[in-house]
Amino acid sequence: MMECKRALDEAKGEMEQAFTVLRKRGLASAAKKAGRATSEGVVGSYIHAGGKIGVLVEVNCESDFVARTEEFQQFAHDLAMQICATDPRFLRKEDVTPDVLQREKEVLRSQAAATGKPENVLDRIVEGKLGKFYEDNCLYEQHFIKDGGAGQTVGELIAAKIAKFGENIQISRFSRLKVGDAVAKSSNEAAPAATA
């Protein structure tokens, strides 16, 4: 409560501005905790209605105390539901393999060139469209579906949870199975460095 009061004082009583101040402090707090080890956690799961799609996701934190809380377990379940709905290929944009990134850039560049845009603006167009590619294919960059897709990204949600729980939180890996798919989609295959 004292943190909220200080934020309101800093924002001169404006609620929206106070909310922004609190979010900035939470992100700063999350950045400080990012290097800490996350050896505890839970495996969240979600089976879509009809049993045709299932997801397992490993969400890590620093202590068993936090991992056992109902809120943390619900968070892991919500992340599994996010993966089920949005079908990401990678955890973070840093995990996109160089060959996939190069191929995507080539496609976007040829699409932009086909519109007749001048050569000097093609790179900016490609960079702008890469943001959408990351948003579609990288879990941390996706808008959280329980917010209606218009609110915060999964990465921002994780930063908010880090600030709330006071511990580092990371998604280590996930696996998405769909009946009829020849191969399960897994963050392990896409980004081996991201596994725990």
Q: What's the whole-number mean pLDDT along residues 38-56?
A: 90
Among 33-37, 69-73, 110-114, 119-123, the range of highest mean pLDDT:
69-73
pLDDT score for 38: 63
pLDDT score for 108: 87
Strand segments (E) across the chain: 40-47, 53-61, 170-178, 185-186
Query: 124 pLDDT band (50/70/90 cuts)?
Result: confident
Residues in the chain: 196
The CA distance from 27 to 23, in Å, is 6
pLDDT score for 26: 60
Residue-wise pLDDT tens digits, 155-182? 999 998 988 888 899 999 999 999 988 7
Residue 149 in this model has a pLDDT that exceeds 60: no
Residue 146 in this model has a pLDDT that exceeds 90: no
Percent of the chain with pLDDT over 70: 79
Q: What's the whole-number mean pLDDT along residues 52-73?
A: 94
The CA distance from 133 to 102, in Å, is 12
The residues facing 55 across adjacent strands are 46, 176
> Residue 152 has which token pair?
């915060």
* pTM value surpassing 0.85: no
User: Domain residue spans in the chain?
Assistant: 1-33, 40-96+138-194
CATH architecture type of domain 40-96+138-194? 2-Layer Sandwich (3.30)
